[in-house]
Amino acid sequence: MNRKKRVRRMMILTMLLAMSIVFHMLEPSLPLPIPGVKLGLANILGLIALYMFGWREMLSINFGRVLIASLLRGIIFGTGFWLSLSGVALSSLTVIILKKFTPLSAIGLSVASATFHNVGQILAIVVIWSSIMMVYWLPVMIWMSIPTGILTGTLAVAVLKRISKGGSP
């Protein structure tokens, strides 16, 4: 990879990371009718990185987002941080495995990502509060991750289409 391409790639990744941090930080203020449900808009940027570059770049966007957003909010190493981190870790791992071994499109991967983000978060709550019954909320969260996953996946597909029309990065 020549120098120009390397700089271009780094710049795009930095912009994706910046946008995902903004989504991550703004999202809790979006009013949604069901408590505890988030759209997962920041996930779009991870998916874009996955399709534009690869799984390593997606991991750096996702983990970078959680780390920097938590640092900016001042909640790093607090409960919320561990919840985000475990959600992101499990969802990223699932997406990487499913992308490699199944024919799922970005929409299916997005639903999987949303679902396993919730599973990761609930597992973290179970460990932090040593209360297995937190699992009680998991089916509801999983149900909600289907429409939100389809929404973020569709948005990611739309963005990727426009990027490919405008020339490869």
Partner 1 sequence: MNKADKTFIAIVAVLSILLYGSLQYVVRATTSNQKIAVVSYRDEEVLRIDMSRNDKYTVQGTLGEVLIEVKDNRIRVEKETSPLHICSIQGWIEYANVPITCLPNHVVIVIINAVNEHGEDTTVQ
Binding-residue pattern over the window 14 to 43 for partner 1, x denoting contact by CB under 8 A? --------------x------xx-------
Contact 75, 81 (CB under 8 A): yes
Residue type, 120: G
Closest CB to partner 1 among residues 28, 169: 28
Pairwise CA distance, residues 81 & 84, whole Å = 5
The radius of gyration computed from the CA coordinates of the chain, to the nearest angstrom, equals 16
Q: Which helix (H) or strand (E) holds 134?
A: none
127 contacts partner 1 (rule: CB under 8 A): no
77 contacts partner 1 (rule: CB under 8 A): no
138 contacts partner 1 (rule: CB under 8 A): yes
Contact 118, 150 (CB under 8 A): no
- Kindly list the residues in this chain that would bind partner 1 in the complex (CB under 8 A): 28, 35-36, 79-80, 102-105, 107-108, 111-112, 115, 125, 129, 131, 133-136, 138-140, 142-143, 145-146, 150
